[in-house]
């Protein structure tokens, strides 16, 4: 399929139990999607599984190998660079490999991206929610959202969601190399930059399911780093370092030109 114009970036660290099923489901969607797996030398062989996919589906599956576990944020950036500069993507998605973000919501997200610059697969809009999550995880996510919205003025309801769809112009407008978070708080920092630039942001309700296979990579250290990120962004907001720009109108993608 040479009309692949949307790439899904899937960062992986020890996701061998999930990767084959995920890629199978993504490629089966009725949309011209490609996948970029960003693997950090997973000891469980996830990177080799991804390579087998890239050999079988060279147009649609791409792999970036990094030598060590270097964090979620930098994995997204590596994927963004490849999608923007090597694969000429028009839309770029991010999602977890663990089925917390179910591929079945992607068609709704793509539809919304016709009139929003950034679409979030959101737990906190009507119709969305969390399934099978521990109270600790639910509480952590609620608190993080409250703080991010309160201190940073973010308007989205689910500010920490990793299930996102960016239009190309959004990512192209952001100096990716200057983003300082390397881990999970990258998501909040990125959303802050998008909102400040006036891009229009929409949310599609999703049911977030806690992973069934493998283990979470969120650590106490990541949570501390996230608090530091929010504080840093809050100070930047106070100092008006990141200027707030007027809302940018959305123009429809004309796919007939492809």
Ligand X SMILES: Nc1nc2c(ncn2[C@@H]2O[C@H](COP(=O)(O)OP(=O)(O)O)[C@@H](O)[C@H]2O)c(=O)[nH]1
DSSP 76-110: HHHHHHIIIIIS--SEEEE--SSSSS-GGGHHHHH
* Residue 145 contacts residue 132 (beta carbons within 8 Å): no
Stretch that binds ligand X, among 27-35, 103-111, 143-151, 215-223 (CB under 6 A): 215-223
Q: Which does 13 bind (CB under 5 to 8 A by kind): ligand X, Mg ion, none?
A: ligand X
Query: Judged by CB under 6 A, which stretch of 35-43, 104-112, 118-126, 228-236 contacts ligand X?
Result: 35-43
Q: How far is the C-alpha of 214 from the C-alpha of 95, rounded, in Å?
A: 16
Is residue 80 within the footprint of ligand X (CB under 6 A)? Answer: no
Instruction: Select from 15-23, 63-71, 97-105, 113-121 the region that touches Mg ion (CB under 5 A).
Output: 97-105
Q: CA neighbours within 13 Å on the CB side: how many for 40?
A: 16
Residue 38 binding partner per list Mg ion, ligand X, none, with a CB distance cut-off of 5 to 8 Å that depends on partner kind: ligand X
Q: Could you tell me which of 227, 156, 145 has the C-alpha nearest to residue 196? A: 156
Contact between 96 and Mg ion by CB under 5 A: the answer reads yes
Q: How many residues bind Mg ion (CB under 5 A)?
A: 3
> Least distance in Å: CB of 58 to ligand X?
21
Q: What DSSP line would sit under 119-133, residue for residue? A: EEEESSSTT-EEES-
The answer to whether 128 touches 206, Cβ cutoff 8 Å, is yes
Name the site residues for Mg ion (rule: CB under 5 A).
Answer: 96, 98, 100
Name the site residues for ligand X (rule: CB under 6 A).
Answer: 11-13, 15, 38-40, 69-72, 75, 96-98, 100, 211, 216-218
């Amino acid at each position: 399929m040479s009309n692949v114009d949307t790439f899904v970036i899937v960062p992986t660290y020890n996701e061998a139990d999930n990767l084959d099923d995920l890629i199978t489901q993504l490629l089966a969607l009725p949309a011209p999607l490609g996948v970029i797996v960003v693997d950090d030398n997973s000891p469980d062989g996830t990177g080799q599984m991804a390579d087998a996919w890239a050999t079988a589906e060279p147009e649609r599956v791409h792999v970036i190998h990094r030598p060590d576990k270097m964090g979620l944020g930098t994995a997204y950036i590596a994927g963004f660079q490849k999608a923007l500069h090597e694969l000429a993507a028009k839309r770029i998605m991010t999602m977890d490999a663990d089925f917390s973000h179910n591929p079945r919501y992607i068609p709704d997200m793509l539809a919304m991206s016709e009139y929003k610059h950034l679409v979030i697969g959101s737990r906190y809009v009507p119709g969305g929610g969390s399934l099978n999550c521990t109270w600790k995880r639910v509480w952590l996510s609620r608190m993080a959202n409250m703080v991010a919205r309160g201190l940073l003025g973010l308007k989205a309801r689910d500010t920490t969601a990793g299930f996102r769809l960016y239009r190309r112009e959004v990512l192209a407008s952001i100096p990716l190399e200057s983003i300082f978070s390397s881990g999970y708080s990258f998501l909040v920092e990125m959303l802050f930059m998008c909102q400040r630039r006036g891009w229009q942001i929409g949310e599609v309700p999703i049911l977030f399911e806690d992973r069934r296979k493998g283990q979470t990579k969120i650590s106490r250290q990541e949570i501390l780093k996230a608090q530091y990120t929010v504080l840093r962004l809050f100070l930047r907001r106070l100092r008006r370092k990141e200027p707030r720009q007027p809302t940018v109108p959305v123009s429809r993608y004309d796919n007939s030109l492809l």
